[in-house]
């Protein structure tokens, strides 16, 4: 049974199924599927799982997405781990056992092979995903800004539903 924190937005046609934990102020957007049937899924606070994303698991491979993460449209996180303050680009694919350290960017369409690990502040691009360089301070500011933008959108949607709880 999913466990949902405070002020979490879940779109009407999103599916959150099984052993899934959503941190406070997380958002799960239209068409997204989070299916924790083989292992747990943990989504941190202030994290957005955008339209048509899939977060799934495999036997022995839970999925963990940190806090303040922006997961772009159609990204797939399958038995993988994402640190705090990251951007996972649109259409990226993270396979079983892959991990991305905090304050990193995985570019649109990148494919992180099974078991591949990237340290903090990685800019990962390509198929297969490769470390291009360290994230710049300007890119890091964008990571933080994106998370705040989606936090604002989620609040607007919750307020429109009359479901936002003031502090």
Residue with the two structure tokens 């405070």? 6
* 150 occurs within a structural domain: yes
* 143 occurs within a structural domain: yes
- What is the token pair recorded at 84? 């705090």
Q: What is the pLDDT of residue 166?
A: 87
Contacts of 44 (CB under 8 A, 6+ apart): 23, 26, 65, 66, 67, 68, 69, 84
- What is the token pair recorded at 31? 């068409």
> Residue 14: what are its φ and ψ, rounded to 5°?
-90, 155
* 167 occurs within a structural domain: no
The pLDDT of residue 167 is above 90: no
Alpha-carbon distance of 82 to 105, in angstroms, equals: 10
129-146: pLDDT as tens digits? 999 999 999 999 999 999
* 50 occurs within a structural domain: yes
Instruction: Provide the CATH number for the domain around residue 60.
Output: 2.160.10.10
Alpha-carbon distance of 10 to 148, in angstroms, equals: 17
Residue with the two structure tokens 């083989």? 38
Q: In the chain, how many domains are there?
A: 1
36-71: pLDDT as tens digits? 999 999 999 999 999 999 999 999 999 999 999 999
101-126: pLDDT as tens digits? 999 999 999 999 999 999 999 999 99
10-23: pLDDT as tens digits? 999 999 999 999 99
What is the extent of the structural domain holding 130?
Answer: 3-161
Classify 155 as helix, strand or coil: helix
* 166 occurs within a structural domain: no
- What is the token pair recorded at 113? 């092979």
* C-beta separation of 45 from 22 below 8 A: no
């Amino acid at each position: 049974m999913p466990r949902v924190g405070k002020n979490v937005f879940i779109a009407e046609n999103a599916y959150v199924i099984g052993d899934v934990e959503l941190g406070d102020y997380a958002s799960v957007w239209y068409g997204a599927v989070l299916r924790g049937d083989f292992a747990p899924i943990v989504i941190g606070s202030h994290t957005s799982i955008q339209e048509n994303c899939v977060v799934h698991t495999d036997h022995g491979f839970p999925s963990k997405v940190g806090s303040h993460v922006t997961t772009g449209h159609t990204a797939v996180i399958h038995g993988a781990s994402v640190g705090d303050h990251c951007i996972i680009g649109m259409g990226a694919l993270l396979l079983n056992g892959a991990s991305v350290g905090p304050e990193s960017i995985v570019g649109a369409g990148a494919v992180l092979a099974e078991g591949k690990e990237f340290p903090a502040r990685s800019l990962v691009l390509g198929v297969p995903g490769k470390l291009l360089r360290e994230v710049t301070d300007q890119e890091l500011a964008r990571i933080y800004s994106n998370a705040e933008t989606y936090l604002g959108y989620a609040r607007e949607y919750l307020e429109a539903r009359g479901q936002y709880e003031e502090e």
